[in-house]
Amino acid sequence: MSTTTHDAPSAGSYYVPHSSPWPIIGSVGLFVTMMGGANLLNGHAPTLLYCGLAVLIVMMIGWFNNVIRESQAGLYSPQMDRSFRWGMSWFIFSEVMFFAAFFGALFYARDYALPWLDGTSASKPMTHELLWPTFEERWPTNGPGRVGGTFEVMGPWGLPALNTLILLSSGATVTWAHWGLLKGNRRQLCLGLAATVGLGFLFVALQAVEYSHAYQHMNLTLGSGIYGSTFFMLTGFHGAHVTIGAIMLTVMLLRSLAGHFTPEHHFAFEAAAWYWHFVDVVWLGLFVFVYWF
Amino acid sequence: MTATTAGHDAVHDGHDHGHEHAPPRGLWRWLSTTNHKDIGTMYLVLSLTMFFIGGAMALVIRAELFRPGLQLVEPMFFNQMTTMHALVMIFGAVMPAFVGLANWLIPMMVGAPDMALPRMNNWSFWIMPFAFALLLSTLFMDGGGPAGGWTLYPPLSLQTGAAFPFVILSIHMMGVSSVMGAINIIATILNLRAPGMTLMRMPLFVWTWLITAYLLIAVMPVLAGAVTMLLTDKYFGTSFFNAAGGGDPVMFQHIFWFFGHPEVYIMILPAFGIVSQIIPTFARKPLFGYASMVYATASIAFLSFIVWGHHMFTVGMPLAGELFFMYATMLIAVPTGVKVFNWISTMWRGSMTFETPMLFAIAFVVLFTIGGFSGLMLAIAPADFQYQDTYFVVAHFHYVLVPGAVFSIMAAAYYWLPKWTGHMYDEKLGRLHFWCSAIGVNILFFPQHFLGLAGMPRRIPDYALQFAEFNMISSIGAFIFGFSQLIFLWVVIKCVRGGEPAPAKPWEGAHGLEWTVPSPAPHHTFQTPPQITEAEAHS
């Protein structure tokens, strides 16, 4: 079985890489990061965490470098391309489910937990009677215990609406870049990507402004009851994903400048674009359910 | 599924290059390998190691419960044992065993040269030993390991000491590993099948894993979300599970069991696949109702998403919720019944022989069904109010997990050991292992039904005197079962080291591509995809 027949239809065309050092480096990096993170939470210095993160960054640079070089060397067949496509799609699906857990928490708190606490739900009157008989729910709330003290609510208009516009525009610019790529127009590709990356980081910067305003002037923090919890965890994880997506697109921009992509062969770009549309859609959910209603 | 490409020559160069070199030697081979067989072996070794570690914890529990009163361990340590036993067995023994089998078998069964994403495959595996190092290290920390049960319900779990972030982050690592592993399996099955290997010709083990992988990707991130909320509630002042802040501790249970119930099927669907491979072989008949098996598996997977509430009938759900979850749960008996019917029909008038894999497979059908029936009893919401948190629940899920999932893994190990090692295992010892296990497991878990019905609560180190006899019997069974597994260890070691050489197809009635390659399977198989015809697929 160790000889390859070259003339069979897909014989041996599937590239199976040789042994690689990157996964084990990644495992050690992840281990050190997690251990460092746990130590930090237990009140120790963050040194170990930083070491682990450094290893993870080195791993990612090395591993992706490896993959890019293999791709440029023409080792990836269309079948390999399809594996990457399935891989990326299912990865994005797993991310959707991660956000679903937090959206689920938001909906559960608003539709079940709070009506039970304030007695407006007929199904569990005793929760209200026995725990906080004076509590009247009005969303947004920090609960009957007024956890975190009085806070102001982050309205949808103003910065969040502007951010919606920014992120939706960036979805358009990345598509425009893709059209450029398909036409073989590298100028359009690079301009479109540069605009997308710019808009992406602008979004993150404005989110940072919003956060600092919330903490300094609105007394709205992660500790502001269920509203603060869901607000910051949902927008925070989203912001982290936008940052990751923007870094991915930055790499794509650099690769476009280096002339890596062809109209036929550019899955890395598409993967980054898919991811970008995914964070876009999550934002729409956030804008509607976290900021607006 | 065929692909001819531009750049074909370059591809071949890269590929052939790989063959001229034998795999690297020593430890580095295992650390850096991208080979699905190497990685499958590592998963199986990890799983067996964790099986013994988790088993030792179970024996601590059963030793303490041998007699009423506190005798061997502190109650706090006892609680750590129940918690860790579950985490180790679920995430460390059962799941990696199935992933290991998937790694070894799926590429060979569908005629693929390897897994679709071989480097990521290595990463999926090597995260696991580190995750368990993190988890097990908590036993040696101030305040000990987690003791609030594997379900980590708040507010109790939030009282864990220094161990808490280690537990949560180790669960994150296991989740990352599982999701990557599942993505790899789906990509392999959907994209690397040999020409002619249509979806409805795939071996059932491949089908069940395709559906299991989907479940994993759908629910592991939800678990990640749930435990992240625990972490932020404890360390960052959030109020997800704090009613004073407008949250709800019961909300954790909803999110957790939305993961938890599909997780139960993640641990049993591949078992269904294994048994569906083994029974036709030793009955020397094709599987009865292949298509209905596929649809039944998919139905079970779908239903698994809408039954989570049956784990929390007693938390005070609205009546509509109780009814919905009760009936949805009972519906699962239908596709499961289809499966049991099909296995029995496959054996009906077959020319059966009873080698060790078949013994385990038949025991699976009988004993898993007992676990299924007690599940049906628990599904009845008003009755569940009596059974909730008693040993009846413990008996139920151990029947589906031990003579269910674990027996299927044992069956798989015996069935494919000749393919993996190139040697036949010792049939006499295998049968001895089977009978000791089958008898031990029933002595161990059957009395727990009676204990539960009589009202003995689970997760306690001491109990009232009227429970003494059944507990003693159960503990005796536990030690018989536990030590019987050393026979298995011995059989495996013996088979790896030598034995009667195994032919390519050691089982007369076996079908499938894995039996067309020599035993032991060469390091690389099916670099030229085989052509699968209608006749072969349905023989």
- Fill in the DSSP letter of residue B464: -
> What CA–CA distance (Å, rounded) separates B317 from B307?
13
ipTM: 0.94
Closest residue to B239, CB basis, from A20, A23, A147: A147
SS3 content of chain A, % helix, strand, coil (to 5): 70, 0, 30
In B314-355, where does DSSP find H-type helix?
319-331, 333-347
| φ, ψ at B390 (rounded to 5°) | -110, 175
Determine the average pLDDT of the residues in B331-342: 97
Kindly report the nearest CA distance between residue B410 and chain A, in angstroms. 29
Provide the whole-model pTM. Answer: 0.94
- Indicate yes or no: CB of A73 within 8 angstroms of CB of B10: yes
Tell me the backbone φ, ψ of residue B423, rounded to 5 degrees. -125, 150
**Pick among B180, B189, B191, B232 to test the A interface (most A CBs inside 10 A):** B191
CA B31 – CA B28 distance, rounded (Å): 5
Chain B partners within 8 Å of A65 (Cβ): none
pLDDT confidence tier of residue B21, bands split at 50, 70 and 90: low
Q: How confident is the model at residue B538 (pLDDT cuts 50, 70, 90)?
A: low
Q: How far is B311 from chain A (nearest CA, A)?
A: 18
Active-site residue, B21 included:
no
State the number of CA atoms in the 13 A half-sphere of B281 facing the CB: 27
Residue B310 annotated in active site: yes
The encoded tokens of residue B535 equal 């006749």
Asked if B7 and A77 come within 8 Å (Cβ–Cβ), the reply is yes
Task: Suggest the residue from A59, A80, A90 to mutate for an interface test with chain B (most B CBs closer than 10 A).
Answer: A90
Q: Is the dihedral of CA A161, A164, A166, A168 positive or negative?
A: negative
Rounded distance, CA B420 to CA B523, Å? 10
DSSP of A191-247: HHHHHHHHHHHHHHHHHHHHHHHHHHHS---TTSHHHHHHHHHHHHHHHHHHHHHHH
Contacts of A95 in chain B (CB under 8 A): 221
Q: Give the closest residue to A109 by CA, choosing from B248, B227, B225, B321.
A: B248
- Which of B112, B123, B134 lies closest to A35 in CB terms? B134
Burial profile B146-166: b = 16 or more Cβ within 10 angstroms, e = fewer? bbbbbebbbeebbebebbbbb
CA B412, CA B44: separation in Å to the nearest integer? 11
Is position B157 annotated as part of the catalytic site?
no
A67-92: pLDDT as tens digits: 999 999 988 889 999 999 999 999 99
The whole-angstrom separation of Cα B311 and Cα B363 is 27
**ω into residue B155 within 30 of 0, thus cis?**
yes
What Å distances lie between residue B260 and A34, B49, B252, B375, CA to CA?
A: 24, 24, 11, 15
**Optimal mutation site among B255, B317, B528, B532, interface A, most CBs of chain A within 10 A:** B528
The predicted model gives B443-457 an average pLDDT of 97
- Above 70 in pLDDT, residue B454? yes
DSSP notation for A69-108: HHHHTT---HHHHHHHHHHHHHHHHHHHHHHHHHHHHHHH
CA-to-CA distance for B530 and B249, rounded, in angstroms?
55
Token code pair at residue A18: 């040789």
Segment B134-157, tens digit of pLDDT: 999 999 998 999 999 999 999 999
Q: From the CA of B457, how many Å to the nearest CA of chain A?
A: 26
Q: What is the average per-residue pLDDT within B362-382?
A: 97
Residues in contact with A194: Cβ distance below 8 Å, sequence separation at least 6, in sequence order: A253
How far away is chain A from the Cα of B296, in angstroms, using its nearest Cα?
23
- Taking contacts as CB-CB distances below 8 angstroms, the residues of chain A near B262 are none
Chain B residues close to A223, C-beta within 8 Å? 236-239
Which chain B residue shows the shortest CA-CA distance from A103? B225
- A26 to chain B: which residues are within 8 Å by CB? 123, 126
Quote the percentage of chain B above a pLDDT of 70: 95
pLDDT tier, B535 (very low <50, low <70, confident <90, very high otherwise): low
Cα separation of the two ends of chain A = 63
Token code pair at residue A70 = 């293999």
**What is chain B's length?**
539
- Residues 6 or more apart whose Cβ sits within 8 Å of residue A15: A70, A75, A76, A77, A80, B11, B14, B15
Q: Which of B437, B388, B420, B446 is nearest to B502 (CA)?
A: B420
